[in-house]
Structure 1
C-alpha cells in the first residue's frame, strides 16, 4: 500500500518542485518506507510529474521503488495497491517478450498497458489506483479498481490535472478552492459520508470505482472500463464543472464481471456453497502473498472468523487482532473473538477502550480529509493501530455483507410488506408507541426496538424507497431545520438511490444494488483505507476478489436472505470450518455505543463542539435546530446518536480543513 500523486500540464513544467514535494509529503503516512518522483517535461509541450510514497510489501529491494518505468523509459507508473493475479500476468507478458526490473506486482501494469493500452485495467484482479504517463503519446491514464478499495481524487484547472490518493495532497495547489460543494454537504447530512463522484470541495472530485480517466492536451475523458452500465447519472448538476469542462460519470453496476465463472447459476444450494468457499479460499491464498507477515482483524463474527479459518489452513499460526469496549455489554465482542482465536491457535492480541476517546478525534477527522460520520471509524483505527505494532498487512471480512445479504435490514422486506397493508395513521400510531419503549444500542433487545422504529418509519414510504429510510440519518425536513444556507430541497439522495437501484424491482435486490454501489465503496472501504493507512498498515479484503464478486452478484435473491436469516449461503459454506454458534450468531456491526456515550461521557464534549461559542459550523448550521436534536436524544425521545456524531465529525473536519 502506498500513496500516489501527480500533476500534468498541457504546456511547460507541470508543477514547482517545492510545491510537489509538499504534495508528496502529505502522503508520508501511506508510505513511510520511501519516496520517489519522476518529472517529464519537453519545454513548451505537455509535462508530467509523478510522485510515490512507499509501504514496502512485495520486493523490499530498491528495485521496487516507484515511480517505475518500462524497458525504454517511455512509460512511467505510480500505483497504490496490490495486483493479486500478477504472477499469471507476468508469465503472459514475459511470454510476449517483456523484461522485468523487479519482483513487484505492479510492474505488470506497465507491460499490460504496452500490450493492451486503455484496456489494461480490465485484466487486473486486485485493489489499485494508479497514474500512468505515456511519454510517447503524452497521455495520462488514471484507473481505480472495480470495487473501489483504493481511493483516487483529482482536480482540473485550465487544462491542468492533478490527482492523489488523498484529498489533502491536492490542497497545496493554488488553483484549488476550499469552497464547500452544497450537493456534497447535502448527501453527507443524509448518509454521513460523501459518495463518488462528489467531493466536499467544489474543485475536487473522486474517480468512481471501476472507472478510468484519460487526459490528453488538456482534455479529460472519464468512462467505465469494466463491469459497469453505460447509462448516465440522472441527477441535478451531477456533471463536474471545472473550468467549463463537463465530465459525466456512469453508474456502477458490479454484476457483469467478465471474470465471473458463472452468470446464471443452475446448481443446488450445496453446490453453490462449495463454489463460494472455493472462490474465497483461492482469494485468501492470493492475498497472503508478500514479503512481510500478515495478520487478520477478528471480531468473532462469521465473516472475519471464516477468513481466519482459511488463513490458518494456508499460513499456520497467524496474528489476530480484536478490540472491545469497557462496560459496553452487547458491544464487546471479545469473548467471541477469543474463542475463534483459541480454536485456530492464533497469536491473539486484543485492546480495551472506553468513552475517553476525545483526544483521538482530531486525528481521525484529519485522516479522512472529508466529513465522515461512521462511528465505527473509532474501533477500526484503534484495531489497525494495535495490528500495526506487529504486522504491515491485515485481512478483514469487509464486503461480505454487501455481497451476500448480511444486514438485518436486508431481510426487512417481508416485514415491510406486512406493514404496507396498514393505513399510514396506524403506522404512525405504532411508531409513537415504539418510541416509548427503551430502545438502546447496548443490548440485543434494545437494538431490536430501534430497528423496529426504523422499520415503522420506512413502512410509511409507498414508492419503493423504503430501504433508503433505513440507511439515511437526517431526513429532508430535519435538514431544512438545521441547515441555514441550504438550497431548495433537491431530493438528491433519493435520486442517487433510484439511479443506483435502477433495473431492480424487489426490495432485497434494490437494497443490495445500493449497498454494493454506494455504501461499500464510499463508506466501508473509505473507512478501512484511511484508518489503516493512518497507521501505515495495508488492509486487504478477500471477499472483494473479482471472481468471488462476479459469482456472488449472479446468485438469485433467495440465496442472499431466507426469511429473517441473512447470508444463508455463506453460513452453509462455513459449515465444517466454524462452530455452529459462530456460524449462526446474529449480525453485530463493528460499531461503538455512540448513542450512550453522547448521553454520558462524551456528551459535554459533543455539545461544546456543536453549540459552544467556538463552533465553526455556526455559519452553516442553525444552533436552535441542532440544540433541539440534542435535547431529543438526551431525553431519549429519539435515537439520534449517529446523526449527532455525524455533525460532530463535520465540525471537527471544518476546524481542520475548511477554516
Structure 2
C-alpha cells in the first residue's frame, strides 16, 4: 500500500528519480512509489507515455470494449487500463472512466496530471529549481528537499470560513491541488495548461416526474452495483438518515454476500439516531454494529487522526469515522459504502435558506449571493476581525476575496436556476474538498476503500437534468431521491426531516479535551505563530462571546487547525 510522486525537469527524460525523500537528478523525469496508506501502482508504459497512479475503476469492462483491439491484457490493473484509455482516446478516454483516480503521466516535456470527475482522490503539485513534482500526498511534497515553502495565510482565512479549503489552494505556499474533472499539463518551461474534461451541465428534460424517478432508481442501482466488491462482504456506514439508509437498502438488495452496517454512538446525553439506524438495519437484515465513541478516545486520537489529512477539516466526526473504518477492517471488510453526496447533489438543508435570501434580496451587488453563502456556513467568517491578530489581518489585505472561489458557480452561466447553481457550488467545493477527501484518507489509513454511490458521475449528470422543483419541492428537500427509493425503506425513514448527527463537541472541549486545547492554543508554539488573538481564544474557551448557537464548533476549528499545523511543522 503506497502513494506516489512524479517529477519533471529540464534535461535527460530517461533519468528516473528516487522517492521524494531524496533529491531528483538534475533534469529528471520519473515516478516513484512512496510509503504510506494508499493504493498506488506502477509505473506503466504505453508507447512514449509513462504513468503511475492511484486508480480504482468501476467500469473496466466498458472501457475495454471501447478500446477494442487497443485494450491491454486482461490481467492489467486499473491504472494501466486508464493509461491505455488516455493513450488511445485522449481526454475523452478519461471522461469515459467511472471511478476514483489520480494519475500522473510523463509525456515528452509534459507532466500530465488527471484527477477523477468528482474528487475522490487527491492530487497536489509544486515547482522548485526548474523541476515539477506531483503527488497524491501533500506530506510527501512537504518532504521534498528542494521545496522551500511556508504557511499560506490565505488558506487559514479560507479554512476558518468554510471548515475546509474549497479550491486549488493548500496550506503550503506555492503548492496547489488539481481540481476534479481537470487535466493539468505542467511544462518544462514552468507554464501550466488546465483543461476540463468533465463538468456537470444543466439540461432541460421535460420527462414526467414519474419518469425521472424511475430513471434515477435505475442509475442508483447501477452505481451501487458497480461499487460492490466481488465475492466478499461489504460494509455500509449507516447514520439513519435517508442517504445512508438508501445505500444500505440498495446494497442489501443487490449484493450476494453479507452486508455489515456500522453506526456511531456517543457517551453522555447527546441525542442520537440509533433508533433510526437500528430500524434500517433490521429492515434490510444487515449484520449491524454500533460503535460507542467516548470523549476520552477522541482526545487520545485527535492529533494522530488530523495528521492523516492533507487538509484539516472542521468536522468533529473525523476520529469516529476513523474508528468505524478500523472496526470494519477488523471484521474483514475491505470495501465500505457511504451515503455521502445526497445533500450536495440533490438539495440538502443549506439550500432553503439561500432560496429565502434570494426572494428577499435587496442588495444588487453580484457578490451578495456569495457573501450570503459564506454566512450560511456559520463558522468563523464573521469572527475573523476579532479572532486573527492585527499582523495576520494586515497580511491578508492583499489576499483574494473569499467570494472568489464561489463566483464561477453562483452566477448565471453554466447553470441558470438558483438551486442548480447552489448544488454545483456544493459539489465542487464541499463535495470535492471536504466530504470525499476526508472519507478517502481515513478509510485508506485503515486498509479499507470507501465508496460513495451518490457521487456517481451518471447520478450527478441525471440530477442536473431533473427540474429544480423535483429536488426541492416546496420545503421538502431531496424529494426525487426519496421517491426513487420509497419502496425500499420504511416511511418513517423516508419522510422524516433531516436532523444530522449531534456530536458532543462542547462536552469534549470542556471535558477530556479541555487541557489539550488550553495547552495547544495558549502555548508557546501557537503564540509564536501569531495567528490568533489570545484574548479571543480565552473568551471562547470560557464559553463567552457571540458563539451561540454553535458555541463549540468555532473553537473546534481553531484547535483542529493548530494540531494540523504542528503535525506538518508549518510556521508563519
2:51 corresponds to: 77
Alignment of 1:242-391 (within 5 A): 254-255=200-201, 263-290=203-230, 293-316=233-256, 317-330=258-271, 332-356=272-296, 357-389=298-330, 390-391=332-333
1:561 has 2:443 as partner: no
**Equivalenced residues, count:** 559
- Of 6, 12, 32, 1:50 maps to 32
1:427 corresponds to: none
Aligned mates of 1:394, 1:213 — CA distance in 2: 30
Note the C-alpha offset of 1:294.
Answer: 2.6
- Of 121, 124, 141, 2:112 maps to 141
1:10 corresponds to: 10
Note the C-alpha offset of 1:494.
Answer: 2.1
- Mean alpha-carbon deviation: is it higher for 472-481 or for 165-174? 472-481
CA RMSD of aligned residues (A): 3.1
C-alpha contact (below 8 Å) 2:105/2:111 kept by paired residues: yes
Note the C-alpha offset of 1:495.
Answer: 2.5
C-alpha contact (below 8 Å) 1:468/1:497 kept by paired residues: no
Note the C-alpha offset of 1:388.
Answer: 1.8
- Of 554, 558, 565, 1:643 maps to 554
- Of 126, 129, 137, 1:166 maps to 137
Alignment of 1:388-467 (within 5 A): 388-389=329-330, 390-407=332-349, 409-413=350-354, 415-416=356-357, 465-467=371-373
Aligned mates of 1:415, 1:549 — CA distance in 2: 25
Structure 2 residue runs of 5 or longer lacking an equivalent are: none
Aligned mates of 1:464, 1:506 — CA distance in 2: 15
Aligned mates of 1:382, 1:499 — CA distance in 2: 37
C-alpha contact (below 8 Å) 2:37/2:444 kept by paired residues: no
C-alpha contact (below 8 Å) 2:31/2:52 kept by paired residues: no
SS at match of 2:179: coil
1:492 has 2:434 as partner: no
TM superposition score normalised by structure 1: 0.78
In the TM superposition, what whole-angstrom CA distance separates every residue of 1:187-213 from its partner, at most 9, and x where no partner exists?
112112112210101131100111112
1:90 corresponds to: 64
User: Using a 3 Å threshold, how does the CA distance of structure 1 residues 92 and 477 change in structure 2: closer, same or farther?
Assistant: closer
Note the C-alpha offset of 1:419.
Answer: 6.9
- Of 224, 230, 243, 2:195 maps to 224
SS at match of 1:295: strand
Aligned mates of 2:100, 2:501 — CA distance in 1: 22
C-alpha contact (below 8 Å) 2:95/2:198 kept by paired residues: no
SS at match of 1:128: strand
C-alpha contact (below 8 Å) 2:21/2:145 kept by paired residues: no
Note the C-alpha offset of 1:168.
Answer: 0.5
1:435 corresponds to: none
2:85 corresponds to: 112
Alignment of 1:545-556 (within 5 A): 545-556=456-467
C-alpha contact (below 8 Å) 1:285/1:311 kept by paired residues: yes
User: Using a 3 Å threshold, how does the CA distance of structure 1 residues 398 and 510 change in structure 2: closer, same or farther?
Assistant: same
TM superposition score normalised by structure 2: 0.89
User: Using a 3 Å threshold, how does the CA distance of structure 1 residues 374 and 617 change in structure 2: closer, same or farther?
Assistant: farther
Note the C-alpha offset of 1:17.
Answer: 5.9
Aligned mates of 2:457, 2:214 — CA distance in 1: 17
Note the C-alpha offset of 1:290.
Answer: 4.6
- Of 194, 197, 207, 2:165 maps to 194
Note the C-alpha offset of 1:533.
Answer: 1.6
